[in-house]
Amino acid sequence: MVRLLVLIFSGLSVCLCVKILREYHYVNSSKTWAEAQQYCRNTFNDLATVDNQDDSHKLHSVLSDTGQHAWIGLYDDMVRWKWSKGNKDYNNNVDYNNWKAPEPDNKMSSEGCVVITSGGYWRDNRCSSIRFAVCLNEQGDPRFVAVKTKMTWEQAKNYCRSNYTDLAVVLNKLENEEINKLTGTKYWIGLHRKLWSGWSDQTPTTYTNWASGEPNNYGSTVTSCGAVSATKGAWLDDDCQELQQFICQNVFYPPVRKQTTFRMKFKFEAGITHRVWEEQILNQLQEMLEMNGASNVTLRWNKREGKVFRRQKKKIEWGC
């Protein structure tokens, strides 16, 4: 029997690859986006998520050739925003706000940053627009600083972070009134959101297939949800209250294949062939894994230039 002594785990690499499999189902029943979402969650998994081009082709293949649109799971979340400072969450239905009705209106489906205007009212604007800004100054007085240089929202954020703390955070009516005394028309504050940032099943948006000119929030509808064209397979945004057919999904997660590579050092009894070493070490490791509850594990040697083991060269130490 080989006496096995593991001296060092000198290297470890892990490869973990999981591909989510989506199965799409076209439902020939007219519902609002929210009704379609509920139906899909009750009957399947959720409204359809499209994560890549392969998914997009698969989705289009299940559409009925009616020339109509069908809801998918993409939607533009107008409720959840972020403050620039600390990336803190903001909920439009819960937290303090001073929107000027009907704001936020997301004109042309392109407004993801917020300005404070005359009277202290808030409006959503294109983040690429050129505006003045209000910085938060936590290092001293005054707490809020009006910057009279026009910048995009991103430029204003960087300016405030370089010279003060960040773009202004407005948590209550008192702070809003304090800023209003410093400003005039359209000054950036730190509130912002990512447009079309996620899907119904909480998958973040990493792939899109918008038709030319989309999304455009046609008709200045505040609530926009994603639909797919039955003729071309490209996406467009529609009023979430419209009645449309829809596409549901079932999601499957194939078994995870995890590959781990160890580099180890051993001491052996003399006079045993390499082939015996290889077999007995694998057997002992397999037993150890099974004793510790690891089943369905296959072990094999990684050979380099046809060899598994190499003798370690002795270091020559020089003395004076």
CATH of the domain at 222: 3.10.100.10
Domain containing 111 equals 80-192
Percent of the chain scored above 90 by pLDDT?
56
Which amino acid would we find at residue 178?
Answer: E
The answer to whether residues 116 and 188 belong to one domain is yes
pTM of the model: 0.69
Strand ranges inside 18-163, DSSP E: 21-31, 46-47, 69-75, 80-83, 89-91, 113-116, 122-125, 131-136, 144-151
The answer to whether residues 95 and 173 belong to one domain is yes
The answer to whether residues 288 and 240 belong to one domain is no
Does any domain span residue 204? no
Does any domain span residue 201? no
Q: Which pLDDT tens digit goes with each residue over 190-230?
A: 999 999 999 999 999 999 999 999 998 765 556 789 999 98
Does any domain span residue 197? no
pLDDT of amino acid 4: 38
Percent of the chain scored above 70 by pLDDT?
74
Which amino acid would we find at residue 183?
Answer: T
The answer to whether residues 240 and 286 belong to one domain is no
The answer to whether residues 89 and 187 belong to one domain is yes
- In this prediction, residues 265-273 reach a mean pLDDT of 56
The answer to whether residues 71 and 85 belong to one domain is no
Does any domain span residue 136? yes
pLDDT of amino acid 242: 92
The answer to whether residues 57 and 88 belong to one domain is no
The answer to whether residues 144 and 95 belong to one domain is yes
Reduce the DSSP state of residue 57 to 3 states and report it: helix
CB neighbour list of residue 235: distance below 8 Å, 6 or more residues apart = 72, 74, 208, 209, 210, 211, 214, 215, 226, 227, 228, 229
**Whether residue 47 has pLDDT greater than 70:** yes
The answer to whether residues 114 and 70 belong to one domain is no
Does any domain span residue 40? yes
The answer to whether residues 173 and 219 belong to one domain is no
The answer to whether residues 144 and 238 belong to one domain is no
Number of domains in the chain: 3
pLDDT of amino acid 10: 32
